[in-house]
Chains A and B, each alone.
Chain A
Amino acid sequence: MHIPDGYLSPQTCAVMGAVMLPVWWTSVKKVQSTINKKYVPLMALGAAFSFVIMMYNVPIPDGTTAHAVGGSLLAIIFGPWAATLCITIALAIQALLFGDGGILSFGANCFNMAFVLPFSSYFIYKILTTNSDISSARRYISGFIAGYIGIVLAAICAGIELGLQPLLFHTAAGVPLYCPYPLSLAVPAMAFAHLTVAGPVEGVVTALAIKYLQASNPEMLSIEKIKAPSKAFGYAKIWIGMAIVAVLTPLGLLASGSAWGEWGADEIKDKIGFVPEGLAQMSDKWHALMQDYGIPGFDQSFLQSAVGYIAAAIVGIILISLITYLFGKTLKNKDKEIHETK
């Protein structure tokens, strides 16, 4: 479910990051207000735990293995806000240190796995286990349902993000610029894979882990209950803000025309009635540069123009590669000087 960079447009990544900002801010505030200073090592260990159990191979009936995310278990034990923080940190380590999931698509991955998954799992578990004993069978059965539904919902969100790409970003000829599968294919594909394999794995692992804790370490199951907020924290503004963002997001995504700030000179003329002089000059220079990309006298046909462009591109590539090499060379010479002076 980790979406690498390149599948989502930068615009989508920016929107998902913007949606996650209030969630991260609230999670830090919420965890700080409920666990006080103790939360730093607890969240660090929680994130390390989240990272490590994502690597556990869980045997499945067909003889192969699958991986669980463990987000549901974390949400049930520590609460959804703490789980958000733990999984976010685990995802950051995966993206920065192991290249698992993109840097630009970090916001989208966090939305699916560190927000939708723990929150949906937590509330399903809470609703199903109301007034139940720590040792009740309802707890681990609810754990299964929470884990199963949580991961499927997260997968559907990932499917929607991927499926929106060809709808919103394609060339005039219909070539999708990012993920090529539309909603009608991306959502069912993601949902099916998680309904059949990843969902049951997450559900079973969560249920068995809760069952084991009931027998051997029941106090772990009441950690979240003990931590009542030490001071009131105003969430109303955050939720209103998030609701506004949620309402405006589709409008921004579905808006037609060029992206803001990417208008051509003609579009600017339509918008403001004239073309600023500086822009007109820049536009002319840009076209002049475009002409210069070709080879003079070798731009009669498309083929000749294409060959000219390729030649110009190769010269450009060689030039920037040479500069890159010179940067490296400069450093080597500096190192030599340092060693000689020593």
Chain B
Amino acid sequence: MCPKCFKLSFTKSTKPGFLEKTINELNNVMKEEFVAGKIASRHGLLQNLDPRINFLATLLLIISANFIHQPLVLLFFNFWVIWLAKVSLVPLGSFLKKIWLVVPLFTGVMVIPTIFSPFLPGEPLLILFQLPHPVQVLFWQIPQVISITKQGVLAAVVLVLRVGICVSLSLLLTLTTKWSLLLKALSKICIPTIFITILEMAHRYIYLLLQTTVDMFTAKKSRSVGHTTTGEERKFVSNSMSILLGKSYFISNEVYSAMLSRGYNGNTLVLTEFKLKAFDWLWLFFIIIVCLFFIGGDHLFVWK
């Protein structure tokens, strides 16, 4: 399926409105799922691991990343995660774009104020200007010297690098593990089966409701002529939500009847059996070594 088919085209004169934005966002969700499914089918390193080991390893690595506070160690950790993606046959271009366009855009922008002394006092790295005296705005004290601080820069760099690692690892887990297998793996670890059953069903019905929404919005778009006010548009969105809620409730009753007629008695069974191989244990052992390596490096690599 051509990705371009998912995008609605707009003439130069018309700015994409809320309808097109929503339709394109919903289509992107379906497209991403399609692409992730294709990557998960490749024979890379992480794709061939037992999903339980893949999930546990991801969790261990994320926890480790959260205990690391040295920028250089976090940078090395990031490089290793990118290498892990490469070895798992994940297309690096789109992987890096997804992480390093999004993380600096959100986390980066969010932490920029931190580097200035009014937000985080500290040792000045670069003095920008001086006020005649400190200023008190409500409960916020603005110091006399406005500067970029060492503590602020360090805090911002550490946060961006750490969020980068965490988002990369989550994305890697998503891309290299089929959703159905990941859920079954979760049910084998510690999550009650009932949660997993609802999760699995919810995942299926998300796509049905996404398609229903796309149909409703496309129908509205194709029948709209002229200008509509923001109030009318808001009303349409809210009405669509109500219709979707009504449809969801109706479908849930239908699904329940269908389940009953097929012998559902309230118990759910997980049919997939996983078998741990020596390779899986070896990988888990290696991941523990990697975690200790980075955490150890963090303890040794103290800035003086």
A residues adjacent to B (C-beta < 8 A): 4-7, 9-10, 13, 24, 28, 36-38, 40-49, 51-53, 55-61, 63, 65, 68, 70, 73, 77, 85, 89-90, 92-93, 95-99, 102-104, 166, 171, 173-181, 184-185, 204-205, 207-209, 211-213, 216-217, 220, 223, 289-290, 293, 302, 309-310, 313, 316-317, 320-321, 323-325, 327-328, 330-332, 335
Contact = CB atoms under 8 A, between A and B. Distances in A.
B252 A44 contact: yes
Contacts of A327: 45, 87, 279, 282-283, 286
A229 to B, nearest CB: 17
B249 A220 contact: yes
B210 to A, nearest CB: 6
A188 to B, nearest CB: 8
B202 A89 contact: yes
Given A70-B241, A166-B120, A323-B286, 13 more contacts: A6-B66, A10-B66, A28-B192, A40-B197, A41-B201, A44-B198, A55-B22, A73-B245, A104-B63, A211-B238, A220-B249, A290-B300, A331-B48
A102 B139 CA distance: 31
A59 B156 CA distance: 33
Nearest to A42: B252
A-B pairs with lowest CB-CB distance, top 8: A208-B238, A44-B201, A5-B166, A6-B163, A47-B202, A48-B205, A328-B87, A328-B45
B142 interface: no
Interface string B182-196: 100000000010110
B297 A313 contact: yes
Contact of A175 (B66, B83, B151, B174): B151
Contacts of B155: 175-177, 180
B139 A184 contact: yes
B304 A302 contact: yes
Contact of B170 (A43, A95, A302, A328): A95
29 contacts: A5-B62, A6-B65, A6-B66, A6-B163, A6-B165, A9-B66, A37-B265, A43-B198, A45-B205, A52-B213, A55-B22, A56-B213, A57-B25, A70-B241, A90-B202, A93-B199, A93-B203, A97-B203, A103-B58, A173-B122, A177-B69, A208-B234, A212-B238, A212-B243, A220-B246, A310-B72, A320-B293, A331-B45, A331-B48
B115 to A, nearest CB: 9
A115 B256 CA distance: 27
